[in-house]
């Protein structure tokens, strides 16, 4: 429905999703757009209402029209929020104040180096004037996820609920090992699949399809939930892990599992003990479990933890997602020790549809068959081709 209200602020879906995170209590104790005093205090102390919160939560959308509207607002005014020509919410104005966009970027990213593509993009989204106050938005996705997790917890009488934040781009063997390991000591595992707001050939839907295949075929699926997590601009910086912990806790999880090699963890030694970004937080009670990196060792001939393998790094194959993704984007089947062949088949058949001129001839020439006439698809071909790669008598 198009907005008929005179005062309108135009926002994108990323901003809408960020507002919805607050509305659904997932960034608690934040429950509104912060005013100038709160903004300055939070950015200085990294706390809000005596709880850790890494930076202020504000709305200062760019655009000449937006900025003119915001600048003219007075306390008590109501202003409509419009996304894609739809009325999606309303703000009851508390205050209008100016911000420094570069400082705002630095608060989120830890740097204001505009050569960084993410920083440049988000700087373009920021205006000089911010509006504070209570708000309401229409965004049901998060509400459904909250209800799904609450229902599953009740059904299983789950006390130990673990959260894993995954991009799964692509889903590889180390992800699989991490999920299985987490299930060992959990009644329920919530796989939060990150849902970004940028165009990508490797879409959220494709990543979800791969994760659903793995869960449905190789795990006790009644103890696993795949939940979308709106991966908006607020998660872009070095405070990502703190926000992940806040969100997971507010979704009702009791534990967040992260890899020790995660860039935002910031492990360091202090008086002979290992510390991290989580050692100085307030009000975040969720247990944080850190897991060592998994690698494939060509001496052990299996997937191992770097914490337990006695062989040097020159024997290890790391699960670097960007390198595996590069193979897939070039149309190359990754070795099965890196990505399960069925997952690779799903991805390649999606990325390269109708790739083969005569698929049935390829099957007849290259793939053993039982003599029956069967209709094949590209996914089947990739699976069978991988089996040929895995033969050993001539290699």
Residue 91 near residue 135, CB atoms below 8 Å: yes
Distances (CA, A) of 3 to 6, 72, 296: 8, 19, 56
β-strands 188-195, 161-166 pairing:
parallel
Residue 94 near residue 56, CB atoms below 8 Å: no
Rounded to two decimals, the pTM is 0.91
Domains and CATH numbers, the chain: 8-138 (3.10.400.10), 141-291 (3.40.50.620), 296-389 (no CATH)
The residues, any chain, with a CB within 8 Å of residue 196's CB and separated by 6 or more, are 204, 231
Q: 361: which 2 tokens?
A: 């001839």
* The pLDDT of residue 372: 64
Residues in the chain predicted with pLDDT less than 50, given as ranges, are 1-4, 267-271, 273-274
* The pLDDT of residue 5: 55
* The pLDDT of residue 197: 85
Nearest of 255, 246, 203 to residue 228 by alpha carbon: 203
Helix (H) / strand (E) element for 77: namely none
First to last CA, the chain: 64
* The pLDDT of residue 328: 97
Integer Cα distance of 161 and 182 in angstroms:
10
* The pLDDT of residue 50: 95
User: Residues for the chain: how many in total?
Assistant: 395
């Amino acid at each position: 429905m198009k907005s008929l209200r005179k005062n309108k602020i135009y926002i994108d879906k990323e901003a809408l999703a960020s507002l919805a995170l607050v509305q659904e209590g997932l960034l608690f104790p934040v429950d509104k757009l912060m005013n100038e005093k709160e903004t300055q205090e939070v950015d200085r102390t990294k706390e809000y209402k005596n709880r850790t919160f890494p930076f202020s939560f504000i709305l200062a959308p760019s655009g000449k029209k937006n900025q003119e509207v915001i600048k003219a607002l007075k306390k008590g005014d109501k202003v409509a929020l419009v996304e894609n020509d739809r009325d999606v919410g309303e703000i009851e104005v508390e205050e209008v104040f100016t911000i420094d966009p570069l400082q705002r970027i630095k608060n989120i990213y830890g740097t204001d180096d505009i050569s960084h593509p993410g920083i440049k993009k988000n700087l373009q989204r920021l205006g000089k004037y911010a509006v504070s106050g209570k708000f309401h938005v229409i965004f049901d996705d998060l509400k459904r996820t909250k209800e799904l997790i609450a229902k599953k917890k009740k059904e299983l009488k789950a006390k130990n609920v673990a959260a894993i934040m995954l991009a799964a781009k692509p889903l590889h063997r180390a992800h699989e090992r991490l999920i299985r390991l987490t299930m060992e000591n959990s009644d329920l595992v919530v796989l939060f699949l990150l849902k970004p707001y940028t165009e990508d050939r490797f879409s959220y839907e494709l990543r979800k399809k791969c994760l659903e295949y793995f869960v449905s075929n190789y795990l006790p699926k009644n103890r696993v939930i795949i939940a979308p997590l709106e991966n908006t601009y607020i998660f872009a910086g070095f405070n990502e892990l703190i926000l992940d912990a806040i969100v997971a806790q507010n979704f009702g999880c009791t534990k967040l599992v992260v890899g020790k090699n995660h860039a935002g963890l910031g492990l360091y030694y202090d008086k002979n003990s290992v510390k991290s970004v989580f050692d100085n937080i307030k009000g975040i009670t969720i247990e944080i479990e850190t897991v060592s990196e998994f690698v494939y060792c060509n001496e052990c001939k299996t997937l191992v933890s770097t914490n337990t393998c006695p062989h040097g790094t020159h024997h290890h194959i790391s699960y670097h997602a960007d390198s595996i993704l590069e193979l897939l984007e070039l149309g190359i089947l990754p070795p099965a020790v890196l990505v399960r062949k069925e997952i690779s088949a799903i991805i390649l058949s999606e990325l390269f549809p109708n790739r083969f001129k005569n698929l049935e001839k390829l099957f007849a020439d290259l793939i053993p068959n039982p003599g029956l006439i069967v209709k094949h698809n590209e996914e089947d071909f990739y699976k069978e081709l991988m089996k040929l790669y895995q033969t050993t008598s001539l290699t």
